[in-house]
Amino acid sequence: QVQLQQSGPGLVKPSQTLSLTCAVSGDSVSSSTATWSWVRQSPSRGLEWLGRTYYRSKWYYDYALSVKSRLAIYPDISKNQFSLQLNSVTPEDTAVYYCVRDRSGFKWYFDLWGRGILVTVSS
Amino acid sequence: QSALTQPASVSGSPGQSITISCTGTSSDIGSHYLVSWYQQHPGKVPKLMIHEVTERPSGVSNRFSGSKSGNTASLTISGLQAEDEADYYCCSYAGGTNVIFGGGTKLTVL
């Protein structure tokens, strides 16, 4: 059974870096078909795709324009996981963060979701 | 990129059919057959119900169906059941590396 197990802090101070990790079991982050994304959900912004990583002979990274300058997503092949780092956070970044899989690769649907982590940005 | 437009709420009685609309533009829904729908119960994780406009993942009831016409996609739920009460979100590819979601529709089963 494929699962995504998320970890990371639930509270981050403004201007600091938000770091989350998603451990993949039952699939490979190096899959040649799937892509691995982060999506967040907040009352003010709704559901928002943030970015993704995937492997097709080399690693690729795509980011939403709204966070491109502050976001990095990177895989850890040895641990079969991928991580998110969002810099210079503000209270507007308060949201539930989900790691998700698109098993189709490029048909942009998310068939597997992690349980989500509520991250609050507050001093 | 603006969010896709969904009605805030819809309702129906058990056994009835309801349709949730999702309106976008010629740059997203109107240009691609990459629309998906998600069901989210309170406090739970979104669940994929429909992908590629009409495709149902294994395990999803055939009471759920999707369609698209022009810039509007629709999710229809037939034979409404109490367990269908949830929030529903549409999602569309919007070109490049851009995907957008709808604001969500709260379905109430009366």
DSSP string over B26-85: TTTTTT-S-EEEEEE-TTS--EEEEBTTTB--TTS-TTEEEEEETTEEEEEE-S--GGG-
pLDDT score recorded for residue B2: 77
Is the pLDDT score of A95 beyond 80?
yes
Residues of A within 8 A of B106 (CB-CB) are none
Q: Which residues of B touch A104 (CB under 8 A)?
A: 51
Interface of A with B (CB under 8 A): 46-49, 52, 62-65, 98, 104, 107-111, 113-116
| pLDDT at position B23 over 70 | yes
Q: Report the 10 Å Cβ neighbour count for A60.
A: 12
pLDDT of residue A116: 98
Alpha-carbon distance of A14 to A16, in angstroms, equals 5
pLDDT tens, A12-38? Answer: 999 999 999 999 999 999 999 999 999
Task: Give residue B1's pLDDT.
Answer: 64
Q: Which residue has the tokens 């957008």?
A: B100
To probe the interface with A, which of B37, B47, B51 has the most A CB atoms within 10 Å?
Answer: B51
Residue B24 confidence class, pLDDT cut points 50, 70, 90: very high
Q: Does pLDDT of B84 surpass 90?
A: yes
Quote the CA–CA distance of A39 and A112 in Å, as a whole number: 12
Per-residue tokens: A31:
């899959």
Query: In sequence order, what are the beta bridge partners of A114?
Result: none
Cβ neighbourhood burial of A8 (10 Å; 0-12, 13-18, 19+):
middle
pLDDT value at position A113? 98
For position A105, what pLDDT does the model report?
85
Please check the confidence at residue B49 and state whether its pLDDT lies above 80. yes
